[in-house]
Amino acid sequence: MSDVTIRDIRVILTEPDGIRLVIVKVETSEPGLYGVGCATFTQRPLPVKVAVEKYLRPFLIGRNVADIEDIWQSSYVSSYWRNGGVLNNALSGVDQALWDIKGKMAGMPVYDLLGGRAREAAAVYVHASGREPAEVADKVSAFIDEGFHHVRVQVDTPGYATYGTKGLDKSTESARGSSGGPRNVTTWKKELTPGKRYAHPPGIFEPKPYMNSALGLFDLVRSQCGWDFEMLHDVHERIPPIDGVWFAKEVEQYRLFFLEDLFSPEDQEYFRIVRQQCSTPIAMGELWNNPHEVIPMVKDRLIDFIRVHISQMGGITPCRKIAAMGEMFGVRTAWHGPGDTSPVGHAANLMLDLNAWNFGIQEYAIFGERTREVFPGCPEVLDGHMWPNGKPGLGIDVDEELAAKFPHSKWEFGGAWNEIRRADGSIVRP
Ligand SMILES: [Mg+2]
C-alpha cells in the first residue's frame, strides 16, 4: 500500500465564460502529484470555498490518498448533520481529486479503476432553444447535420417567462443573465406590492400558456425534423402537479427520449400517478442532495433516468453506487451536465458514462473557448459523442495562471437563482 498523503487542499475560483466555477486541487506528499475535482455551486460559491478550506482541509491533511472510501465516509459524517448542497459540493471537489490522483498513481483513466469501459464514447444531448418553434426546429436540423442524435428543445412562451430560452426568463442554465428582450413588466407592475423589495424584475410564469407553447413546439419540430432523432424537454418543475400529469400524457404522442423535472422534489410522489397513466420516459434528480433520495424513485421504477448532479451528491464515490443500483432496476443514468458543471465535472461524468452499462445519455453544454484554454484536456465532442482522451486519472487539468485572469465577478443578490412568480405575485418553485 502506498504511503502518499494529502499535503494540502486548495480552492480555485474562476469564471472564464460568465459562469462561476469552483475547482478543488488536492496536493500530495509526492512532488508533482495532485488531483483536481469539481465543487461548482454557482449560486453559492463562497460557502463551498469556506467548507473546503476551513473544514475539510484541516480534517484531511495527512490522510493516505489511497483511502478514498474511508475519506468520503468520514467526511460525510464529520459535520454530524447530514450534508446539503454546500457540503456535498465541497466533498465532491476532494473526492473527484482523489480519484484523479488514484488514476495517475495507477497509470489508468478513472473508468479503468471503476472496472473498465462498457462503451467507447458517451452520447450527448445539446440544447436548441428560440423565440419561435420554427427557430428551434432550424437549430435541431443544424445539430442533426453536425452529427448529434439527441437534442433538447425549449421555446419562449409569448408574453411570459419560460425556462431554457433566453427571452423573458433569466434562469437559463448556460448564461447568468438574459440575453435581452423585454420582460413581462406590464403584467407585473399591476401586481407589484408598493415598498416590497423583489429580486430582479421577476419573470412571470403561467402554466397553461407554457404547456400550450411547448406542445406547439413538439408538433412543429416532429413535422419538420422527423421522428428518428431523439427529442428531450425540461419542464423545470414550475407547473402544478396535476397539470404535470396531464402534460406527460399529452406529450406521449411525441415520443420524447425523456421529459425532465416534471415535478419539484416536494411533489415527487406524483410520479407514481404519471406512471400509471402513460409511458412518457421520465428523468429526474438534479435537485436531490443525498444519494438516499434516489432509492424510492428507482426501486419502484418511477423514473427512467437518474439525473443527479454529481458534485451535488458528493462526487464519484456515491454516484458509482447510484449507477450500480440503477442497473439492477433497469433505470439509466443521465448525469446533469449544464454549463455550471465545470469541465472537470464533465470529465468525472464521462468516467461514469463509460463505465456504467446502464448509461442513458449525457447532457452537454458546449464549452466556451476561454473555458477550454483554462482546462487543458477538456473532454472532446465529435459526432454527437463525448470521447475520453485516455490519460490517467480524469485526464484534465486546470491552468491556474490563466484561471486567475478570470476571477469571480460580483452578481446581483450574490448570484441568486432568478425569481419566477405567478401573475398574482406568488413565487414559483424551480
Ligand atoms: Mg433540468
**For residue 424, what pLDDT band results from cuts at 50, 70 and 90?**
confident
Q: Which residues contact 233 (CB under 8 A, 6 or more apart)?
A: 152, 153, 154, 214, 218, 251, 256, 259, 260
CB 283 within 8 A of CB 259: yes
Active-site residue, from 160, 163, 270, 364: 163
CA–CA separation, 364 vs 304, rounded Å? 19
pLDDT digits (tens, 9 = 90+) for 228-284: 999 999 999 999 999 999 999 999 999 999 999 999 999 999 999 999 999 999 999
Q: What is the grid cell recorded at 45?
A: 460559491
Residues 14 and 163 in one domain: no
CB 299 within 8 A of CB 283: no
Asked whether residue 399 is assigned to any structural domain, the reply reads no
Domain final position from 81, 113, 145 = 113
Q: Please tell me the predicted confidence (pLDDT) of residue 188.
A: 45
Q: How far is the CA of 54 from the centre of ligand 1 (A)?
A: 31
Residues 108 and 181 in one domain: no
Q: Please tell me the predicted confidence (pLDDT) of residue 179.
A: 29
Active-site residue, from 236, 309, 336, 346: 236
List residues, by chain if needed, whose CB lies under 5 Å from ion ligand 1.
Answer: 234, 260-261
Residues 315 and 296 in one domain: yes
pLDDT higher than 80, residue 185: no
Q: How far is the CA of 152 from the centre of ligand 1 (A)?
A: 11
- Considering only CA atoms, give the Rg of the chain: 21
Q: How far is the CA of 408 from the centre of ligand 1 (A)?
A: 24
Q: Quick check: is 236 catalytic?
A: yes
**Domains of the chain: total:** 2
CA–CA separation, 131 vs 157, rounded Å? 8
Q: Torsion angle, CA of 384/390/392/396, rounded to 10 degrees?
A: -40
pLDDT digits (tens, 9 = 90+) for 291-348: 899 999 999 999 999 999 999 999 999 999 999 999 999 999 999 999 889 999 999 9
Q: Quick check: is 200 catalytic?
A: no
CA–CA separation, 94 vs 37, rounded Å? 6
Residues 294 and 201 in one domain: yes
Domain final position from 69, 84, 113 = 113
Residues 129 and 80 in one domain: no
Q: How far is the CA of 234 from the centre of ligand 1 (A)?
A: 6
Asked whether residue 354 is assigned to any structural domain, the reply reads yes
The length of the chain is 430
